[in-house]
């Protein structure tokens, strides 16, 4: 298996490879990135997003910034991390751009290049979720929730846990959360198989995106 480049190298390599053509870079490296040029700047996605007023860069704006070559601004933006996957924009886009998927693709790419905003809470959650899935082959919901609560230290963690007590108990009652998971936590049958599979998938993907 080829070892992945360090993130800083990967970023430099991408800059060198695509020169000033950020649109080309996005098309080649970001999931569904080839759709970006289809945007006609109508504004429907920006106006449909329930989070719209709370972030700086709507999908409409991000797509225009990509075309305008605003590489740093796009990749460092927290916009992609704010997307809740409600799919409002995507079902309404008159050009049928897979907007939600592009936003996630951009988030992932910026993370891989080490440019994503540090300490962005949604990014932290995504990473916890992914790490848990990777390790056990499934997400251990109890450990995942606790890791989230205690992200900002022990005291804050206890406060968070207490605040969410009602929800937690509800989940236990509904059979969605098993308190015993904290001790054993069940995994899938062949975790090492899963690890291998994911490593292979990553290798293929990295090669395709020029990150290997």
CA distances from 203 to 5, 126, 175 (A): 12, 21, 37
| CA–CA distance, 155 with 57 (Å, rounded to integer) | 34
How far out from the chain centre does Cα 170 lie?
A: 28
Pick the closer one to another protein by CB: 101 or 112.
101
How far out from the chain centre does Cα 191 lie?
A: 23
CB of 186 to another protein, least distance (A): 43
Q: Does 42 bind another protein (CB under 8 A)?
A: yes
CB of 64 to ligand SF4, least distance (A): 8
Pick the closer one to another protein by CB: 43 or 121.
43
CB of 51 to ligand SF4, least distance (A): 14
Q: Does 30 bind ligand SF4 (CB under 6 A)?
A: no
Pick the closer one to another protein by CB: 50 or 193.
50
How far out from the chain centre does Cα 68 lie?
A: 23
CB of 39 to ligand SF4, least distance (A): 3
* Residue 119 binding partner per list another protein, ligand SF4, none, with a CB distance cut-off of 5 to 8 Å that depends on partner kind: none
Burial 75-107 (b: 16+ CB within 10 A, else e): bebbbbbbbeeeebbbeebeeebbbbbbbbbbb
99, 107, 113, 128: residue in contact with ligand SF4 (rule CB under 6 A): 99
Closest CA to 182 of 142, 139, 147, 148: 142
42, 91, 158, 201: residue in contact with ligand SF4 (rule CB under 6 A): 42
Contact pattern for ligand SF4 over residues 112 through 131, marking x by CB under 6 A = --------------------
């Amino acid at each position: 298996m080829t070892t992945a480049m360090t993130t800083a190298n990967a970023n430099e390599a991408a800059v060198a490879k695509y020169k000033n053509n950020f649109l080309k870079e996005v098309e080649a490296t970001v999931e569904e990135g080839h759709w970006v040029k289809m945007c006609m700047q109508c504004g429907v996605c920006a106006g449909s997003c329930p989070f719209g007023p709370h972030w700086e860069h709507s999908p409409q704006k991000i797509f225009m910034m990509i075309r305008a070559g605003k590489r740093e601004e796009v990749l460092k933006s927290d916009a992609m991390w704010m997307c809740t996957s409600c799919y409002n924009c995507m079902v309404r886009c008159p050009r049928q751009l897979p907007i939600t998927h592009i936003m996630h693709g951009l988030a992932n790419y910026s993370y891989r290049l080490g440019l994503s905003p540090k300490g962005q809470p949604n990014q932290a959650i995504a990473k916890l979720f992914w790490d848990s899935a990777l390790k056990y082959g499934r997400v251990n919901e109890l450990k995942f929730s606790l890791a989230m609560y205690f992200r900002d230290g022990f005291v804050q963690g206890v406060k968070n846990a207490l605040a969410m007590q009602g929800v937690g108990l509800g989940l236990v009652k509904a059979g969605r959360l098993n308190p015993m998971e904290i001790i054993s936590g069940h995994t899938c049958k062949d975790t090492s198989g899963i690890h291998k599979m994911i490593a292979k998938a990553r290798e293929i993907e990295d090669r395709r995106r020029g990150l290997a």
